[in-house]
A and B are shown apart, each in its own frame.
Chain A
Amino acid sequence: MIKPSGLTVSAAPHVHCGSSVQERMTLQILALVPATLVGIYFFGLHAAIVVLLSMAAAMVSEMALQKALKREVSVADGSAALTGLIFALLLPASAPWWAVVLGSAFCMIMGKWVFGGLGSYPFNPALVGYLMVKISWPILLTEWPAPAPFGITNALPIETGAEILKRYGVTMAEQFSMINALLGNQAGGIGAVCGIALIAGGVFLISRKVFSWHIPVAFIAGVLLVGGIFRIMNPAEYASPFFHLLSGTTLLGVFFIAPEYTTSPCTIWGKLLYGFGCGVMVMIIRVYGTYPDGVVFAILLMNLLTPIFDRIRPKVVGIMKEAQADG
């Protein structure tokens, strides 16, 4: 006779590679730690408060929403903390506490949970919150504290490289120091200033296979190619493409915002086109648009095209051409 033996029964596969959402999110937060620390070094204690406040607000609002929607509370997976962190890194260290809390909660409510939570949203939630703050209180996001060791300075707020270029033209922007931008000694969002830390974090994520290389590389290629064409056409009017890569929030977007899982395509050609499209859009907005930075808008626009990019895919093995066409 065959009697039950109290064993677990389920469909194959019976083993798992061991990855988890929590691991992915934790690795992304870890990769952002160097950029955050540099930001805190240059903008002082207030930067640390903005970061912690934003992460806490994101987690608390997600927890409250999940309770209200009678869902399983999944704050431990780290996705809310990551969104809160990225949102904070886009802000100036001088951002008032209420804007941080409101924006961070808005990320969770209107960016994430109105669409059904992790995996369902069409736009990067951190950018949705950022956009709300930018539209509601535009002045908050144009005054950037001057960088100084530990943020101890009496200097008045200054402008980011991208803003200088937009307002005063390429001759002023030429004085912008690439070395300072790489080291983080420039005005900008808390976590968007230090090129080296952002590149190191991005390379770490790609090497740990959290993200594939396609989107960051295509993004950079898009910026350099279109920026390079403008530069070659008229060096007196257009800044160098490397200036565009290192100023504003470009590198944060390249390595941490554009490749975000839910809002970016999955197929190889989709990823390459999406990344390249982000790069091209950044340049077009910076050259022709009214916004000096453009990274947030570029990524949000390309987020919209993600479902279309996902349709660019290799042929399914076994399905004949005509069979695919009539489906």
Chain B
Amino acid sequence: MKGTLFKSSVLPLKTGKLDRLPMTEVPAPREAIVFMRQHSGEVCKPVVEAGDRVLLGQVVGTAQDQQGADVHSPVSGEVTLVAPLEDPYGGFTLAAMIVSDGKDEAAEAMEPMADFNNMPPTRMFERLRRAGVTTYDLEPTPLSAAICPVDTASDLPTGIAESTTELPALDTVIVNTVDEEPLTVINQRLFIDNRDRAAEGIALMKRLTGAPRVIFAVRKSHEKIAVKALGPDSGAEIKVVPVSYPGTLPIVMINALTSRTIPPGGTARDAGVLHISFEIMLDALEAITKGSANIYEMLTVSGGAVNPPKNLKVRIGTPLRAVLRFVGCREAGIEKLVLGGPMRGKAQFSLDMPVVKGVNTILALTESEVAEVKETSCINCGDCVDICPANLQPNLLSRSCEFFKYDNPQFQKELRACIECGLCGYVCPSHRPMMQYFLNAKHHLGM
């Protein structure tokens, strides 16, 4: 971990023996909601109408630009509604509601590209978008666009691994088998279950990106397994990374592994790096070699209202209520329901909210677990300054935000450098809503 600018170990990720729990598949939901925008680009154009019959894995919305990825039906059944609905991020998005007929009749899969080493990457990019494979790079992005950024004016890919005026060449791929946030073990679990596919996945990533360097990030206890699974000629470097937050955040991990710094507000691609989780690599592998659409999301369901926590394989579009019922969680005991981890997840107002792409955790917190926030004054204890991985002074920034003083250019620069890890709010003894202040200010300033 030499040359790291970030403090990379603050919170140990306490997961107990959760990573030894196998994945359980949640049965198909009776009713699924599929949002037409689970990526950074334009909203998908729905290709179904209310009353249409759809099959499992059939396309229900097609991407309108290179920043978009198709969305698919997670069940076979009838479309009952195509209309804007409240989405998990606090806005309204066009969505299709599909009532399952319980038959799970599958649509025809796309043609497999088993021999991907002789396939032009551009065709594989098209396939990844058609299969709906998205990763997370600052915001949900199609994997193809994360590898090969799109020129927004012409909506054309800018060419793979080529250095453009703005971007450095993509020369490093980090495949991460460690989960970003505390309480989640999905990628660790998937790696253990699917280690025999790791070498193939790495070969695919090399073919897709043309990057000479692939780093396979594992936790210490998985190092030997990874050496054995990848074999000698995989061409990937196996690196041990700490299982502690915020060291597991991509922006911090990239800095630790490559000594490169992502500019404030930038993506990993701006530093010439592609960071993908093991889960996304598997999704890409499925889409290319089997031609299957991305309709599953792996989730750890955790929190005080869920006892014991479970690792689940859930269809995208399954309402959270169905997932929670499956794990035997009492609905009345939930005070706060979070899509995502405890540090960066989004709180949901409804149990009807469906699972969307890119979510690895469902957190059902009881009343006693929910962090209380108060509009109190900062006592300047300095805990947030000590813990901030970006070397900011959250105490001073939050005071500016508190009184809506957004004009200072230095303030704006520092605010942009905030990586939104949530640690300042986690440690604040005054229980100030730090992230709320920063997110609100960023929103006002259009960051």
Chain A residues at the B interface, C-beta cutoff of 8 Å? 1-5, 7-17, 19-21, 23-24, 116-120, 212, 261-262, 264-267, 271, 310, 313-320, 323-324, 327
Query: Per a CB cutoff under 8 Å, which of A13, A266, A324 touches B382?
Result: A266
Query: Per a CB cutoff under 8 Å, which of B351, B365, B380 touches A5?
Result: B351
Q: Is B436 an interface residue (CB 8 A)?
A: yes
Query: Per a CB cutoff under 8 Å, which of B33, B379, B414 touches A21?
Result: B379
Contact with A along B23-64 (1 / 0, CB 8 A): 000000000010000000000000000000000000000000
15 residue pairs bridging A and B, Cβ less than 8 Å apart: A1-B85, A3-B352, A5-B337, A7-B347, A8-B347, A12-B342, A12-B422, A13-B425, A13-B426, A21-B430, A118-B377, A266-B380, A266-B385, A316-B414, A327-B413
10 cross-chain pairs, A with B, having the tightest CB-CB distances, nearest first: A266-B382, A13-B422, A16-B371, A327-B410, A119-B377, A11-B436, A266-B385, A19-B429, A15-B342, A261-B381
Q: Inside 8 A of B261's CB, which chain A residues have their CB?
A: 317-318
B86 touches A2 (CB 8 A): yes
**A-binding segment of B110-118, B278-286, B389-397:** B389-397
A12 touches B343 (CB 8 A): yes
B370 touches A8 (CB 8 A): yes
A12 to B339, CA, bound (A): 11
Chain A nearest CB: distance from B330 CB in Å?
A: 13
A323 nearest in chain B by CB position: B413
Query: Per a CB cutoff under 8 Å, which of A2, A21, A313, A315 touches B429?
Result: A21
Q: Inside 8 A of A262's CB, which chain B residues have their CB?
A: 379-380
A2 touches B33 (CB 8 A): yes
A319 touches B414 (CB 8 A): yes
Chain B residues at the A interface, C-beta cutoff of 8 Å? 5-6, 33, 85-86, 97, 255, 261-264, 331, 334-338, 340, 342-353, 363, 365, 369-373, 376-383, 385-386, 389-393, 395-396, 409-410, 413-414, 417, 420, 422-423, 425-431, 433, 435-436, 439
Q: Inside 8 A of A318's CB, which chain B residues have their CB?
A: 261-264, 390, 417
A320 to B263, CA, bound (A): 8
B390 touches A7 (CB 8 A): no
Known: A7-B337, A314-B391, A318-B417. A14 touches B380 (CB 8 A): no
B372 touches A16 (CB 8 A): yes
Chain A nearest CB: distance from B195 CB in Å?
A: 32
Chain A nearest CB: distance from B443 CB in Å?
A: 11
Report whether over half of chain B's contact residues are helix, strand or loop; otherwise say mixed. Answer: loop
B345 touches A12 (CB 8 A): yes
A1 nearest in chain B by CB position: B352
A116 touches B414 (CB 8 A): no
B334 nearest in chain A by CB position: A7
Q: Inside 8 A of B348's CB, which chain A residues have their CB?
A: 7, 9
Q: Inside 8 A of B435's CB, which chain A residues have their CB?
A: 11-13
A3 to B350, CA, bound (A): 6
A4 touches B349 (CB 8 A): yes
B349 touches A212 (CB 8 A): no
B426 touches A16 (CB 8 A): yes
Q: With A21-B379, A318-B263 given, can you name 8 additional A-B contacts, CB distance below 8 Å?
A: A2-B353, A5-B349, A10-B433, A116-B377, A119-B377, A212-B386, A262-B380, A267-B385
B389 nearest in chain A by CB position: A317
Query: Per a CB cutoff under 8 Å, which of A14, A15, A117, A324 touches B377?
Result: A117
Query: Per a CB cutoff under 8 Å, which of A13, A20, A21, A317 touches B390?
Result: A317
Query: Per a CB cutoff under 8 Å, which of B334, B352, B363 touches A2?
Result: B352
Chain B nearest CB: distance from A65 CB in Å?
A: 15
Q: Inside 8 A of B423's CB, which chain A residues have their CB?
A: 13
Q: Inside 8 A of A267's CB, which chain B residues have their CB?
A: 382, 385, 393
Q: Inside 8 A of B381's CB, which chain A residues have their CB?
A: 24, 261, 266
